[in-house]
Amino acid sequence: MQESPFKGKTGIRRLVAALGYSLRGIAAAFRHEDAFRLELLLALILVPTALALRVSWTARALMIASVLLVLVVELLNSAMEAAVDRISLEPHHLAERAKDIGSAAVFVSLINVALVWLLVLLD
């Protein structure tokens, strides 16, 4: 089995390359994905709010992690949608199902934010 030719970097060079790919991915999501921009705005409001609240460090960590999870799920959803669109822009029930499931994952992560924040604030 042949490995990908893009796997040739090792050590520090690999870490630097990975950081570059990650930053490029975040920039692409910011530039092309309205939902990511909106969720990033939400994160820019909620993370400092969590840091300012008088709650335990564990509660604060859960609040921030729940917000960051939304960004992770949105990035994965956007990547999957781009891959599906790369394969074909023609309507297909499996492509539609994949996109709907990705959207559902983002929705569940948003429900998670609401529940975590509600439980912490009601404690």
Based on the residue annotation, tell me whether 74 is a catalytic residue of this protein: yes
Query: What's at 57, amino acid-wise?
Result: W
Question: Are 105 and 73 spatial neighbours (Cβ–Cβ below 8 Å)?
Answer: yes
Let me know how long the chain is: 123
Q: How far is CA 32 from CA 23, 26, 96, 103, in A?
A: 14, 10, 20, 16
CA-nearest of 39, 102, 96 to 71 is 39
Distance CA 45, CA 87 (A): 36
Active-site residue, selected from the candidate residues 3, 33, 39, 74: 74
The catalytic residues are: 74
